[in-house]
Amino acid sequence: MKNKKLFKGVLIICAILIGLTGCSKEKESAAQKDGPKILKVRINADIKNLDPARRYSRWDDVISATIFDGLVSYKANSYDIENVLAEKFEISEDGHEIYFKLREGVQFQKGAGEVTAEDVKFSYERFRDEKTASAYSDDWANLDHVEVISKYEGKIILTEPFAPLMRTTLPLNSGVIVPKNYIEKVGLDGFTTDVIGCGPYYIDEWQPDQKVVVKKNPDYYGKAPYWDEIQFIVISDNQSAEIALQAGEVDFAEISTNTVDTFKDNPDFGITSNSDLDYRWIGLNVENPKLQDVNVRKAIRAAANVPDMITAAYNGMVEQETAIVAPGLLGYWADAPKYTQDLDKAKEYMAAAGIDSLDLEIAVADTSEYRVWAEVLQQNLKEIGINLEINSMESGTFWEIGDGDKGKDVELFAMAFQMQPDPSWATMWFTSDQVGIWNWMRWANPEFDELHKQGLSETDDQKRQVIYEKMQKLMDDDAVAIWVTNGKTYFAYNAKKCSPAMTPNNSLQFRFFSAAK
């Protein structure tokens, strides 16, 4: 009798336990379904500064674009412009004034107050303020001031019409609105990685060299983005990123041209690519005593075998670049010389320089792409008596070698710059103001500077075309760079989970990323 009771008791307990575990399992799967939708993205370098005026790298750009909103912006997957913070947006006929009226009641994140015309004034004028030391001040080259009409209305007043304004300034990061009061309170140093905007995501967490997490802004005034949380995970090496993608540790990653076929053949993954507008090159520092003579630079350019670099580094899957502005853009120089290896000419230049041997060093960020360029160049230069040492360094170290006077010691370097669809975006980095900032060639040419200014205020496309061709010719004459390729970026993504969005030149628009289609 006792035993029977005990047996019953055990049975009941068992039944309850089974019921409980069953329930909890159901709950778990329900939680997974309803839990936050998290997108994991590979970034190949850590962020440095998310302040729109002082942003640094491509990932600073891409991540801050999820946090900030501007008056206008590009629509998803296109270069068409739509109003975002602006309710009304009108450009005067002479192109000198832009009137805007803000949406009312839009709040900055983390309780930093309402977005007003004062914030607009502050956001744009700080680009021209020396205290901000913005590398992007030329995005607002012709800004005179912003006039505040009322709490929500204002006028952007230009000294002269400004051609890139609607192409690259306003729709991109130089056109976004930052909180005036907050920045005045915390100072510039308090507004680097812990930034506040009024966009669809706010920054939640930054673990240096690990990841950056942005979460959906619950008070966002516009259409809510699909993903609740985006984790940007730092994986500098392409191979590791590809493995992480295959293992499901990331959902979206840039991949190397060598592995495109592997992902293409796998139905679980989607591939997206576009010819880049970016430009990649080997720069020669003209201030360095060894490279001061233009003949030496021309010798190096004539000896370099760029087609070999393309075959070896990109499996031949990209085109050789001939000048700084990419094909298809206003300012593309169609008749630019396409350099192939000519050792006889290279030797003639060496003779003209009166040099028969030289020791040089090329600085590269440690990726297989740049190492391959450098190794090909090393072999090429050996044939004209130049011994090239390859100094490959961790990318963080690399990006600082050109800063200030330190940059005088740089000899050759391998580099890639991002480009936006206006030619001024290519030329602005090589003016004399940029020496010691981004002009690592330290090439200063007054005529180039002057043309750059003209190009900014000229609104006639044909005239601009002439200006930019001329500028590229100046660069070519002085042999300051060996152009390699505009490149082609390939991204692979988990096709069962997400669907990407980007402008036609591969600028990622994470706010428009959606579920798998």
Partner 1 sequence: MRKKKNSEIGVLSQLVKTPSGLIGTIIIALLLITAIFAPILSPYDFSTQNISERLSGPTSEHHLGTDHLGRDLLSRIIYGTRIALKVAIPAVIISLFIGVLLGLIAGYFGGIIDYIIIIILDTIQSLPSIVLALVMLTLLGPSLTNLIVVMGLTLFPGYSRVVRAQVMSARQELYVDAEKALGAKPLRIIAGHILPNVVPAVIILSTMDLPAVITIEAGLSFLGMGVRPPSPSWGVILNDGFSHFRQSPWPIITAGAALAITTFGFTLFGESLRDILDPKMSGMDS
Biggest CA–CA distance in the chain, Å, is: 113
Rounded Cα–Cα distance for residues 373 and 375 (Å): 6
For partner 1, the binding residue among 368, 418, 457, 499 (CB under 8 A) is 368
CB 230 within 8 A of CB 37: no
Q: For partner 1, which is the closer residue by CB, 150 or 387?
A: 387
**CB 367, min distance to partner 1, A:** 9
For partner 1, the binding residue among 273, 392, 418, 432 (CB under 8 A) is 392
Q: For partner 1, which is the closer residue by CB, 196 or 255?
A: 255
Strand partners, 483: 281
Is residue 389 within the footprint of partner 1 (CB under 8 A)? yes
For partner 1, the binding residue among 372, 412, 441, 492 (CB under 8 A) is 372
Is residue 390 within the footprint of partner 1 (CB under 8 A)? yes
Is residue 395 within the footprint of partner 1 (CB under 8 A)? no
Of 49, 10, 40, which is closest to residue 189 (Cα–Cα)?
49
CB 200 within 8 A of CB 65: no
Q: Is 393 helix (H, G, I), strand (E, B) or coil?
A: strand
Is residue 64 within the footprint of partner 1 (CB under 8 A)? no
Q: For partner 1, which is the closer residue by CB, 92 or 239?
A: 239
Interacting residues of 149 by C-beta distance below 8 A, sequence separation 6+ = 117, 155
CB 513 within 8 A of CB 497: no
| Residue 491 main-chain phi, psi, to 5 deg | -115, 140
Is residue 253 within the footprint of partner 1 (CB under 8 A)? no
Q: For partner 1, which is the closer residue by CB, 104 or 261?
A: 261
Q: Is 476 helix (H, G, I), strand (E, B) or coil?
A: helix
| Residue 212 main-chain phi, psi, to 5 deg | -125, 130
Q: Which amino acid is at 278?
A: D
Tell me, residue by residue from 466 to 495, as one string, x for binding to partner 1 by CB under 8 A and - for no binding: ------------------------------
Is residue 374 within the footprint of partner 1 (CB under 8 A)? yes
CB 236 within 8 A of CB 45: yes
For partner 1, the binding residue among 308, 348, 433, 478 (CB under 8 A) is 308
Interface stretch with partner 1, choices 64-72, 173-181, 291-299, 372-380 (CB under 8 A): 372-380
Compute the 3-state secondary structure of the chain and give helix, strand, coil in percent, each to the nearest 5: 40, 25, 40
Is residue 391 within the footprint of partner 1 (CB under 8 A)? yes
For partner 1, the binding residue among 77, 92, 239, 292 (CB under 8 A) is 239
Residues that bind partner 1 (CB under 8 A): 238-239, 256, 258-259, 262, 308, 311-312, 315, 366, 368, 371-372, 374-376, 378-379, 389-392, 394
